[in-house]
Amino acid sequence: MNISLNGEQRQVPDGITVLGLLDVLKIQPQRVAVELNREIVKKDRYGTTAIAEGDNIEVVSFMSGGND
């Protein structure tokens, strides 16, 4: 099925969950925030939140930084 991932069209397997998508992308779930159709998905729901055809997903990584 087709989704929009961070503004780019992408093919993903039918019935995939947020957690499954992160696994396919090789992203550690604890290091990102996921927005599905403009709503934040709670981390404890990643495994049960299904992605549907045409969904818009934003995956944002946490960056650490410091003062130079």
Rounded CA separation 13/3 (Å): 10
How many structural domains compose the chain?
1
Confidence at residue 62, expressed as pLDDT on a 0 to 100 scale? 76
Confidence at residue 65, expressed as pLDDT on a 0 to 100 scale? 61
- Judge whether residue 59 has pLDDT over 90: yes
Decide: 16 and 50 in contact? Cβ < 8 Å: yes
**What's the pLDDT band for 64 if we cut at 50, 70, 90?**
low
Residue 63 covered by a domain = no
Rounded CA separation 65/49 (Å): 31
Rounded CA separation 36/53 (Å): 12
CATH number at 10 reads 3.10.20.30
Q: What is the mean pLDDT of residues 42-55?
A: 98
Residue 67 covered by a domain = no
Burial 4-26 (b: 16+ CB within 10 A, else e): ebeeeeeebeeebbbbbbbeeee
Residue 64 covered by a domain = no
**Across the chain, what does the average pLDDT equal?**
93
- Which residue range is the domain that position 18 belongs to? 2-58
